[in-house]
Structure 1
Amino acid sequence: MIRKQQRGEATVDQVLDAALRIYAASGESGLTVDAITKAGGVSSGSIYHHFGSLHGVVVALTQRWLGRLLEQLTNAITRSDDARSGVRAVIRAYLEFVQTHPDAARLLHSVTADREGMDRAEQIRDAQEARLSPIAEWINARTESGELAALPAPLIESLVMGPVVAVARRYVAVGDIDLDEAARELPDHIWQSVAGPAA
């Protein structure tokens, strides 16, 4: 049973790795079951067995990389002792992820991912709860201490991440932004919008 499960996990990895390579090379229009079977060395039956449909592959691929991004952000923010260093760390972690994983970043900031996010926001949030809860707890603790502005956590998240996501989108779509410069300049400007009275 364990060997069968390992084979199944290996097939899932093959499919998702192939799907990202195809997406990077050809965009969403190139992402077909036939292309995945050829690039991944798997059968179409395996794709339908593990993912249900091509759409299921795209959803799983997006979830995989969203989970990796959130894990990196969670690690960055929860290792920070004070609010200012946490805000700086999470901004830099996001931009570093985009720079290190440009193909995955392009997918996560695509119209496809946006559509999924709007259609399945609650399901996505539930699926990523283990990674999102520590961030929310960190924000709430710093809001209560006065280090962060007295705003609900979703507003703090939006004020911090909104500009960063906009920069990431522009970087993957147009490419006219220097991410190193953004990592130097954004944290202090964003910090000013969320700093609390005790900061």
Structure 2
Amino acid sequence: MPRTDPLPDARRRTILDAALEVFLESGVDAASVDEVRNRSGASVGSLYHRFGSKEGIAAAVYVDALRGYQAEFVTALDRARDAADGIRSVVRTHMRWVRANPDRAQFLFAIAGSDVRRAASAELRELNEPFFAVVETWLRRHVEAGEIRAASFDVVYALWLGPSQELARLWLARGRRGSLRTETTLLADAAWRSLRVESDEEDQ
């Protein structure tokens, strides 16, 4: 388990950024703590004191990336004017975050495996519980208002962000060619059409 380090500072950021580079190049299994140490300038003692192990470093990189993504997701919901704006804004936010943070997205989607998630399990529970509470509360409000379809959270997620997630994975796997900008509006509109309660009115 990684050791807790509750106050992110410049030194921690340097280590996490260096570790991300190493993991992207070598994968978590083949990466070495020595290489992270070389690139970050941290001592071996400092690395083990802060993170406990290589798996602890990888877990910290994972949690750090996910925390940034979730913060932008929640901000998009907080700023949404209505259900349609919220659904569309989250899709746009998802795609914008991937474009702006391709290395972190690559790590989350393709590099980090179940071992990393297990090492981060305590931190992920602490991070995910309030995040999903916010999202589910927002969805419930609009379901009860008759604006969004009633369905399980998994189904809502698949309709809302499944296509965007798959496109992001393909973009990363194919060497990040293209901007992802053109597709964002199409995906955002498709997500809203799939989740909105049908009516005779035109989409706003």
Question: TM-score band (shorter)?
Answer: 0.7 to 0.9
What does the per-residue CA deviation read over 1:110-143, in whole Å, with 9 as the maximum and x for residues that have no partner? 1424664588778624423233322111111011
What does the per-residue CA deviation read over 1:53-97, in whole Å, with 9 as the maximum and x for residues that have no partner? 101101110100101001101111221121111111000001000
Aligned to 1:168: 168
Q: Go from structure 1 to structure 2 and tell me whether the alpha carbon gap of 1:101 and 1:153 turns closer, same or farther (over 3 Å shift).
A: same
Q: Go from structure 1 to structure 2 and tell me whether the alpha carbon gap of 1:163 and 1:6 turns closer, same or farther (over 3 Å shift).
A: closer
**2:145 counterpart of 1:148:** no
Q: Structure 1: which amino acid aligns with 2:184?
A: A
**2:193 counterpart of 1:192:** yes
Gaps of 5+ in 2: none
Aligned to 1:93: 93
Gaps of 5+ in 1: none
Native 8 Å contact 2:87 2:192 kept in 1: yes
Native 8 Å contact 1:147 1:195 kept in 2: yes
Report % sequence identity: 27
More divergent stretch after superposition (32-41 vs 153-162):
153-162
Q: Structure 1: which amino acid aligns with 2:36?
A: I
Native 8 Å contact 2:143 2:149 kept in 1: yes
More divergent stretch after superposition (154-163 vs 51-60):
154-163
Residues 46-125 of structure 1 mapped to structure 2, 5 A cutoff: 46-113=46-113, 116-117=116-117, 124-125=124-125
> Which structure dedicates a bigger proportion of its chain to helix?
1
Length-normalised TM-score, structure 1: 0.85
Q: Secondary structure at the match of 1:109?
A: helix
Length-normalised TM-score, structure 2: 0.83
Q: Go from structure 1 to structure 2 and tell me whether the alpha carbon gap of 1:8 and 1:71 turns closer, same or farther (over 3 Å shift).
A: closer
